[in-house]
Structure 1
Amino acid sequence: MRVLQWVSLTLFAALATAASTAEEQEQAAALQLLSSMPACGLSCLQTAIAASPCSSTDIPCSCSNATITAEVQACVLQSCSIKNQLTTQNTTDTLCQRPVRDRTKAVSYSGIIGVVIAFIAYALRMSSKMSCKGCSRLTFTSQLWWDDAVMTFAMALVIPLSILSVDLANLGLGKDIWTLPFENITAILKVYYADEDLYLSALPAIKISMCLTYLRIFDSQRFRYIVYFVIGLNLCYGIAFVLVSVFQCWPISFAWTHWHGETVGRCNNINAQGWASAAFNVILDIIVLALPMPMLWKMQLNKRKKFLVMLMFGVGGFVTVVSILRLQVLIEFGDSSNLTWHYTAVGYWSTIELHAAVVCACMPSIRNIIRRFLPRLMGSTYEESKRTGNGTGLSGPTAVNSGIGKFEPQVQVRPRSSDEENFIPLVDMDGNTIRSAAAPQTAGGSTIHTQDHSYLRPVSPM
């Protein structure tokens, strides 16, 4: 029994020593963290704890007390600089072992996956406009026009914007601002400034490309005037808001250095600027998508083609929905002090909007390339698809076959040979052509010349 008692006492002493050592280690780590806290933040923390029922060494009690947290935050906002505020916040979160939030993957994944899909749609668009003539000699013909040139310009803006989303994620966009090094915050705002200019340039360019595609498809003069007017609206939108974005702050560098309050400058109301551009963008989306609807309504399409048209414009409707969601996010975050966390949603919704817009603008051409290689899927043969545009109110190769008007019969005039100069068609009373008196018949391998004149009748002028 005495042996068991000695063993129990020894184990108890060992556990007490281990617990004491663990507690001492926690206290040592807490003291080290508190020593890195700015003096203003430490003073606010001590004052709040002294006025609470928690002891200065009871860290769990202080961390779980909402009153202490609120008092410390209010005191820090009044007595500390912005950098010291962020350091204090990071120290207290680490001390209380609060979870670290991270949405950086959403930023990078949306950029990379989206740009891959958009580039595939762009490549299909360009390949649909090219055909191989004399492939053995590598001779290609193309139907590229201004709409393709503008789309290429837009893709030249979309690709770097999407790649920069990976840099933003690596710098820390998607995390709380107080968890990041100060130089990363400045770098994020600098990249975000460039992204904003690219975004405001690419959006109207994509819409202008869509309008130019309408000019290729429809030849109604009144419709074309309306399209030119909408192109002008998009040009004005792009020029105006790009200039406003470039000169949103003065000096320009103040756009990415104003966050810490240590530099002198002035900025426009960034939130109002963002809301205005997003609202005008939604309106232009609706106008551009609604433009061809009256023309498409007049077309007589079979069910399969109607489904494809609905699919094309359904993608455009998704772009408008994304624009509205982005506008809502802009309104929600307002003047955020945690910009690297709240700007995340705006960032990936902006890239998704651009990628969806590219796909929407390329949908008619994608349909063309499907019609070329899988004509049965489109409900027509390839030869039929090459004749679209004749007498339909459409100009040039079209993305949607039309039923406006009627196709005129294709008459091919064959030159007569010398022995057919005196050819006279024979017509019975019902107006059916019988055969020529000079036309031979073949029966059983022998040639028979028909001399039956009983079927000959004068052709009635009726």
Structure 2
Amino acid sequence: MLFMAYCGVAIEVGNYGGGYHYYDLSDETLVLFRKMCYVATVLYCPMALLVKIALLSIIIRIFSPYKNRILFIYVFLGALCIYYIIAEIVKIRMCDPVPAYWKQDDPNASCLDQRAALIADSVISVVSDLLILILPLPLTWSLQMSRNKKLRVIGMLSAGGLATAFSIYRLILVLRDGSSPDMTIVFTCVIMSGNAEGGVGLICACLPSLNIIITKMRNHSYKSRYYEQHASSVQLSRVRGNTNKGISQSEPENNGLTSDESHLISYAGAVERSHMGPRGGIHKTVDVEQTIEMVDGTESEPRRSNL
């Protein structure tokens, strides 16, 4: 919802002079433009925080058995929450009084340095996105699976780090043009880069669940084709007078969720094991011996059974 609201604000910024030079716009249009910029500034912090929480929670859920390594992610996540809460309060009170942010005609008003706030946001975004990109590398490489599967899992879990490119672009933009008076162009680019960063992060956060849906649909389609072909073969055998009553029925193999990569992705998507097909693991046959003591004190012969 926050991302959709941020996208809506980006559209409104374009309707109120975004992308035009400030000297080509009227004072009324500039006031409306600054109002939209204020709304975008306030929405950015909770949107960015929730996207990063979604990406980091996938890594935490997959590698939860590695307590010592996951502890660092929890500490990092807590630091992000503290920063974005403080940054949100600062941005809400960027000017005192608040309407001075877009009116800019009150001689008694005082405003904080917006360029410094944008630089801080950009630096935190670059650092956090780089960590999201790098964190799955050592965690996944320690798993017992083939190199190709490791690379596929790393690629999926690190996809959220692609937002780093937009964070770096925004940081360069703010450092280079943050003091420019032509903020109708500069701030529009800042909003669009934040829009791209949030969109890429949300898409990457949905990849594990999307993989589960695609795998289930593929397995369902495969089973449907199998049973249709099997039913048609049974009908054909009856027409030909086939008297063979022993028709072998075998279930199609569940190829979708038995690999290590699929198990990791399914675990990230919170899929129950009961819906993941046959269980894996180690199976062992155990001999159980039972001795029954009768009332008269005699013992019956021991019985053995295999479990």
* TM-score for the superposition, normalised by structure 1: 0.49
Structure-2 change in CA distance of 1:383 and 1:335 (3 Å): closer
Residue in 1 aligned with 2:282? Answer: 409
Residue in 1 aligned with 2:128? Answer: 284
Does residue 173 of structure 2 align to residue 329 of structure 1?
yes
Deviations 1:329-362 (A, max 9, x none): 1111122222112222212111111111111222
Question: How big is the shift at 1:245?
Answer: 0.9
Q: 1:371–1:385: 8 Å Cα contact kept in structure 2?
A: no
- Which structure's CA Rg is the greater one? 1
Alignment partner for residue 180 of structure 1, among 25, 36, 40? 25
Question: How big is the shift at 1:300?
Answer: 3.8
- SS for the counterpart of 2:181 is coil
Structure 1: which amino acid aligns with 2:141? W
Alignment partner for residue 92 of structure 2, among 246, 253, 259? 246
**d(CA) in 2 for partners of 1:292 and 1:253?**
44
Residue in 2 aligned with 1:381? Answer: 255
Question: How big is the shift at 1:422?
Answer: 6.8
Structure 2: which amino acid aligns with 1:207? K
Question: How big is the shift at 1:177?
Answer: 1.4
- SS for the counterpart of 1:335 is coil
**d(CA) in 1 for partners of 2:108 and 2:285?**
79
**d(CA) in 2 for partners of 1:313 and 1:396?**
13
**d(CA) in 2 for partners of 1:408 and 1:372?**
22
Provide the alpha-carbon RMSD of the alignment.
3.3
Residue in 1 aligned with 2:267? Answer: 397
Structure-2 change in CA distance of 1:408 and 1:252 (3 Å): same
Which consecutive residues of structure 2, in runs of 5 or more, have no partner in the other structure?
Answer: 221-253, 270-279, 289-301
Q: 2:132–2:160: 8 Å Cα contact kept in structure 1?
A: no
Deviations 1:67-97 (A, max 9, x none): xxxxxxxxxxxxxxxxxxxxxxxxxxxxxxx
Alignment partner for residue 152 of structure 2, among 292, 308, 315? 308
**d(CA) in 2 for partners of 1:412 and 1:186?**
78
- SS for the counterpart of 1:382 is coil
Q: Within 5 Å, give how 1:138-177 maps onto structure 2.
A: 156-177=1-22
Structure-2 change in CA distance of 1:408 and 1:283 (3 Å): same
Residue in 2 aligned with 1:213? Answer: 58
Alignment partner for residue 227 of structure 1, among 48, 54, 73? 73
Q: Which runs of 4+ in 1 moved over 3 A?
A: 261-264, 300-308, 385-389, 410-413, 421-425
Structure-2 change in CA distance of 1:304 and 1:188 (3 Å): same
Q: 2:132–2:158: 8 Å Cα contact kept in structure 1?
A: no
Q: 2:42–2:92: 8 Å Cα contact kept in structure 1?
A: yes
Q: Within 5 Å, give how 1:11-410 maps onto structure 2.
A: 156-218=1-63, 219-258=65-104, 261=105, 263-302=107-146, 305-313=149-157, 315-374=159-218, 381-382=255-256, 384=258, 397-398=267-268, 408-410=281-283
Q: Which structure would you say has the larger RCO, counting Cα contacts within 8 Å and 6 or more residues apart?
A: 2
Question: How big is the shift at 1:310?
Answer: 4.3
Structure-2 change in CA distance of 1:160 and 1:346 (3 Å): same
**d(CA) in 2 for partners of 1:388 and 1:411?**
25
